[in-house]
Amino acid sequence: MSILLRVATAAVLFAPALSWAQTPATAPVAPKVTRADLAAAYMRVDAAYTKRETAKSISDSLRAQVNRTVDRAALSFFAGQFAAAVNTIDAAAAQLTGVATTPSPPSTGPRSLNGAPVSAARDEYLARLAVVDSTGPLAQALLSTRERAKLLVDVPSPERSAEFLNDPARLFRDLAREVSVLERGRDPYIGLVGDYWRVYRGANSVLVPMRIVVPPSANVRKPVGVLLVLHGAGGDENMFVDAYGSGIAPQLAAEQRLILVSPKTDIFGTTPEHFDALMALLRNEFRIDSTRVYVIGHSMGAGAAARLAQARPSQIAAVALLAGGSPITVANAPPSLFVGAELDGIIPAARVEAAAKASPGATYELFRYEGHLLMVGHGVRRAVPWLVTHTR
């Protein structure tokens, strides 16, 4: 859990005792429920649900009950009732595990590296990067490294997942290499395998955060494909990597020799030119198989995926739209798979089916006993094998 939240909790626990003369209005307030709390709660229920699914130990009735509970939490989230959302998500996890959630133990103070504040390493890296040419062919790489260095903060924001999810020790080591390579006039991301957060410059100089997972098989002479995954409203670029079926998307992508790229959908989905800039970046860094570029979108991300398929049909081999989407009617449209969830009260399955029927040649499937959020892991497991049967 985030350090800021723990500090706030400690401040409440160790505040001076109230006198009888004080009014309820001056009583300590509960710590604010943050994005870090919501992320932790969702990952708990996602992991529990995936474990039961993998073990085939979940009945249809329990599946339906848990999906309904989690979707109620989603409605609370969209209404701004974050504490209620966390409590409801944890109730769903308890339905799956039979055990109430145990709070994480408190942490002590800010983070440090080698006995010094984390920010000292950040400031050193940024000073070294300040003298690297930012206008030439290294511009995108320099941007990514600079933004990655900014994640080295003493106290991570509980509202920014790129900060509270990162491991400062690993990031410190990775940046040491990236900064050194840039200082030698080379791009540190060319052929780089692994899982890392970064930023690229899209259309009109807009910065697009993304999580990218490059399998070891990409660092060979044979071209590699791309799996673009677009999260739903309220999520971010980390959802498909760390959650949604306990991170099944990068695992399946690696098995199919696909680079998984998860951009922040609410920025990426605003114009297809962000896709153009992303593909140019990937082609500069890897040997990309342009016949194997696939897209999965969930909810808001499904709408963005459908618009992208409509705008760039010749560049996408196939697209999968989970619990959302709109008709894809352009000539030469890529094959499309629409998946609705029977219990979805946020984007009803009937709407997804209607979009599929309006899309020539589309395939529609219905997931029984599932709702809007927990269907994503199942959807990814269904979508990836279907997507890779198609090439452009």
Model confidence pLDDT, tens digit, residues 58-79: 999 999 999 999 999 999 999 9
Q: What is the mean pLDDT of the chain?
A: 91
Is 102 among the domain residues? no
**Cα separation values, 261 from 160, 240, 244, Å:** 19, 9, 15
Tens digits of per-residue pLDDT, 232-279? 999 999 999 999 999 999 999 999 999 999 999 999 999 999 999 999
Is 392 among the domain residues? no
Over residues 86-92, mean pLDDT:
96
pLDDT at 30 (0 to 100): 60
Tally of domains within the chain? 3
Same domain, 72 and 138: no
Whether 236 and 161 have beta carbons less than 8 Å apart is answered as: yes
Same domain, 261 and 383: yes
Tens digits of per-residue pLDDT, 312-348? 999 999 999 999 999 999 999 999 999 999 999 999 9
CATH number, domain containing residue 256 = 3.40.50.1820
pLDDT at 290 (0 to 100): 97
Same domain, 21 and 165: no
Whether 359 and 351 have beta carbons less than 8 Å apart is answered as: no
Q: Is 83 exposed, middle or buried (0-12, 13-18, 19+ CB in 10 A)?
A: middle
pLDDT at 6 (0 to 100): 32
Tens digits of per-residue pLDDT, 169-201? 999 999 999 999 999 999 999 999 999 999 999
Residue type, 66: V
Question: Residues of 105-125 as b/e, b for ≥16 C-beta within 10 angstroms?
Answer: eebeeebebeeebbbebbebb
Is 253 among the domain residues? yes
Answer yes or no: is pLDDT of 19 > 90.
Answer: no
* Domain limit, last residue, from 188, 217, 246: 188
Same domain, 238 and 321: yes
- Using pLDDT thresholds of 50, 70 and 90, give the confidence band for residue 219: confident
Same domain, 182 and 222: no
Same domain, 182 and 260: no
pLDDT at 1 (0 to 100): 34
Answer yes or no: is pLDDT of 217 > 80.
Answer: yes
pLDDT at 43 (0 to 100): 94
Same domain, 249 and 380: yes
Is 132 among the domain residues? yes
Is 269 among the domain residues? yes
Determine the Cα–Cα distance for residues 239 and 35; give it in Å rounded to an integer: 13
Question: Residues of 304-334 as b/e, b for ≥16 C-beta within 10 angstroms?
Answer: bbbbbbbebbebbbbbbbbbbbbbbeeeebb
Angle at 193 between CA 196 and CA 223, to 5 degrees: 125
Is 274 among the domain residues? yes
End-to-end CA distance of the chain: 44
Residue type, 200: Y
pLDDT at 28 (0 to 100): 54
Is 103 among the domain residues? no
Whether 337 and 383 have beta carbons less than 8 Å apart is answered as: yes
Same domain, 247 and 336: yes
Determine the Cα–Cα distance for residues 288 and 303; give it in Å rounded to an integer: 25
Same domain, 253 and 351: yes
Answer yes or no: is pLDDT of 106 > 60.
Answer: no
Q: What is the pTM of this model?
A: 0.91
- Using pLDDT thresholds of 50, 70 and 90, give the confidence band for residue 102: confident
pLDDT at 32 (0 to 100): 84
* Domain limit, last residue, from 31, 66, 97: 97
Domain coverage including residue 309: 191-387
Same domain, 261 and 291: yes
Is 59 among the domain residues? yes
**Could you give phi then psi for residue 200, rounded to 5 degrees?**
-130, 160
pLDDT at 105 (0 to 100): 52
**Cα separation values, 71 from 78, 275, 341, 373, Å:** 11, 31, 11, 7
Name the residue among 324, 199, 338, 328 with its Cα closest to residue 274: 199
Answer yes or no: is pLDDT of 9 > 60.
Answer: no
Same domain, 240 and 206: yes
Same domain, 14 and 156: no
Edge to edge, the sheet with strand 258-263 lists 194-201, 207-214, 258-263, 224-230, 288-298, 318-322, 336-341, 363-367
* Domain limit, last residue, from 188, 218, 238: 188
